[in-house]
Amino acid sequence: MDMEARSVAPDRSKQLQNKVKEYRADLASLKEQLLKARSSASEFDSARAELGLGNDYASSSQAQRDRMLSATAKLEQSNDRLQQGKKLLAETEDLGTGILSNLQTQRETIIRSRDTLHGADDNITKARKILSNMGRRMLQNKLIMFGIMGFLLGGIILIVWFKLK
């Protein structure tokens, strides 16, 4: 219960921790009362035997017994609340473990995806450079081809001009 109180939001955590402290204090005081009641009951039994008291002792003994039963009931209720808190804590811990495991898996998936994207980005950059180089070479080849065509055309024109003259 204490661990659960620590794991919730800070504003609610203080309230829950205070309740846990109160429950622990109640439990401790009830245990002390129970021990005192047991020891006082044995003392009263011996005192009664020595004094020879009868019905008057029975009524005070009944009152003590009622108080002891009430204290025992409160102690059992506190124990039940503590057991419920422990169960809730175990469930919360299991849920938290599952969530952390799921988050770890998602983190690994995101990291793998990011690495794949970086690799693809590098490949796209390289392809872009290769394409721009290919475009430049294509332009150079066209210029060279036009130059050769111009030279051949000029040569043909010169040959035709000399033959016709």
Residue 164 domain-assigned (yes or no): no
- The total number of structural domains that make up the chain: 1
Residue 24's pLDDT band (boundaries 50, 70, 90)?
confident
pTM: 0.40
Q: Are 30 and 75 in contact (CB under 8 A)?
A: yes
- Residue 164 scores a pLDDT above 50: yes
The answer to whether position 45 is within a domain reads yes
Report percent pLDDT > 90 for the chain. 58
Distance CA 127, CA 155 (A): 41
Question: pLDDT, tens digit, for every residue of 112-161?
Answer: 999 999 999 999 999 999 999 999 999 999 999 999 999 999 999 999 99
- pLDDT band (50, 70, 90) for residue 18: confident
Tell me, yes or no, whether 147 lies in a domain: no
Asked if residue 154 belongs to a domain, the reply is no
Range of the domain at 89: 2-133
Q: Using one digit for the tens of pLDDT, what is the confidence trace for 85-115?
A: 999 999 999 999 999 999 999 999 999 999 9
Q: Where are the alpha helices (DSSP H) in the chain?
A: 2-7, 10-51, 55-164
DSSP single-letter state for residue 9: -
Judge whether 124 lies within some domain.
Answer: yes
163 located within any domain: no
In a domain, 146, yes or no: no
Structural domain contains residue 74 = yes
Q: What is the predicted pLDDT for the residue at 97?
A: 92
